[in-house]
Structures are given as structure tokens and as C-alpha cells.
Amino acid sequence: MRGMSSIVQVITGLMAGMLILYGGYITLHGHLTPGGGFAGGVLIAAALILVSLAFGSVEQVERKEYILSSIFESFGGLGFLALALTGYFAFDCFFRNAGVFLIGKPLQLVSGGVIPLANIAIGLKVGAGLFAIFLALGASRFVMKE
């Protein structure tokens, strides 16, 4: 049988969606409430690892997931760098908050200039990066056992 017992699978199916939702909430509201990209990304990675442990065995990890998480991680890092460069090209100052006077009022969801976008980029980066590390470690353990 693939994965763990059906008790674990049912509970994981109930929990994983909520974990990802909560991670997304913490990431998106990073500029309003405690939390941010790092905490939200760790939550998302934990949900992915939970699903991966419960439903699939590490032996059958697909090359697709492996590459996909690497790509997402790189895009998160590039996005964060791009936001920093936006400040440089628009206001002649690296990491200048480019949109602070343009949209939204403080304490609204859409506010704070590029800070929410930077939170999303970091959340992507942390979540995908931790999941990629988990996949790599799991696959190598399987090979060493042989």
C-alpha cells in the first residue's frame, strides 16, 4: 500500500488544505499582522511534507515535483531581487519601497507598497525550498538503503 494507514490519510486530507490556507493567510497578511513570508512559507512546506509523507512513499517521488519545487524556489528569489531592482530603477535607491505613495491606505490588505509582494516572493522561496530539501533527503535515504 502506498503511504501510511487510512486513519493518517483521512486526517491529513482534512488538515492539509487548512494548513496551506493558513500559510497563505500568514504570508498575504504579513504587512498587517504578525507573521510574514518566512513563517507562512514554513507552514506551506509543512503541509506539503505532510501530504507527501501520508499519501506517497518517498521511493516513488517524481522527478517532476523535484524540479518544480526548485523552479518555484528560484522564482521566489528572483522575484524578491526584482522588487529590490524596481526601487532602484524607479527611485534611484536599491530596496526603495516603490509603491508606497501609489495605492491603498495603511491597515488595508492592499497597502504598504511592495512589502506584500516581497512577502509573497519570500513565502514561495521558503516553502518550495524546504520541500525540495525534504524531497532530496528522502530520495537519498532510499538509495543508500539499497
Partner 1 sequence: MIELYLLLAVMLAAALVASETKNLLAAAVALGLVGFSVAIIFILVQAPDLAIVQIVVETLTVVFFTAVILRTTEIDTTVTGGLKMETAMFIAAFLAFGGLFLALIVGVLRELPRFGEPVMRVAQEYVQFGLERTGAANIVAAIILDFRGYDTLGEATVLFTAVIGVLTVMRLVTRKKPWEM
Q: Which helix (H) or strand (E) holds 9?
A: helix 6-28
The residues near 30 (Cβ < 8 Å, ≥ 6 apart) are 36, 37, 40, 115, 116, 119, 123
What's the per-residue H, E or C state across 85-134? Answer: HHHHHHHCCCCCCCCCCCCCCCCCCCCCCCHHHHHHHHHHHHHHHHHHHH
Pairwise CA distance, residues 96 & 99, whole Å: 9
- Would you count residue 32 as binding partner 1 (CB under 8 A)? yes
Binding residue (CB under 8 A) for partner 1 from 12, 20, 28, 31:
31
- Would you count residue 143 as binding partner 1 (CB under 8 A)? yes
- Would you count residue 16 as binding partner 1 (CB under 8 A)? no
Minimum distance, C-beta of residue 49 to partner 1, in the bound complex (Å): 9
User: Which residue, 1 or 145, is less far from partner 1 as judged by CB?
Assistant: 145
Binding residue (CB under 8 A) for partner 1 from 12, 36, 123, 127:
36
Using the 8-state DSSP alphabet, how is residue 30 labeled? T
Minimum distance, C-beta of residue 14 to partner 1, in the bound complex (Å): 19
- Would you count residue 75 as binding partner 1 (CB under 8 A)? no
Mapping DSSP to helix (H, G, I), strand (E, B) and coil, where does residue 48 land?
helix
Query: Would you tell me which residues interact with partner 1 (CB under 8 A)?
Result: 26, 30-36, 38-39, 42-43, 46, 62-63, 66, 70, 73-74, 77, 80-81, 84, 94-95, 97, 100, 104, 106-107, 111-115, 118-119, 122, 125-126, 129, 132-133, 136-137, 139-140, 143-144
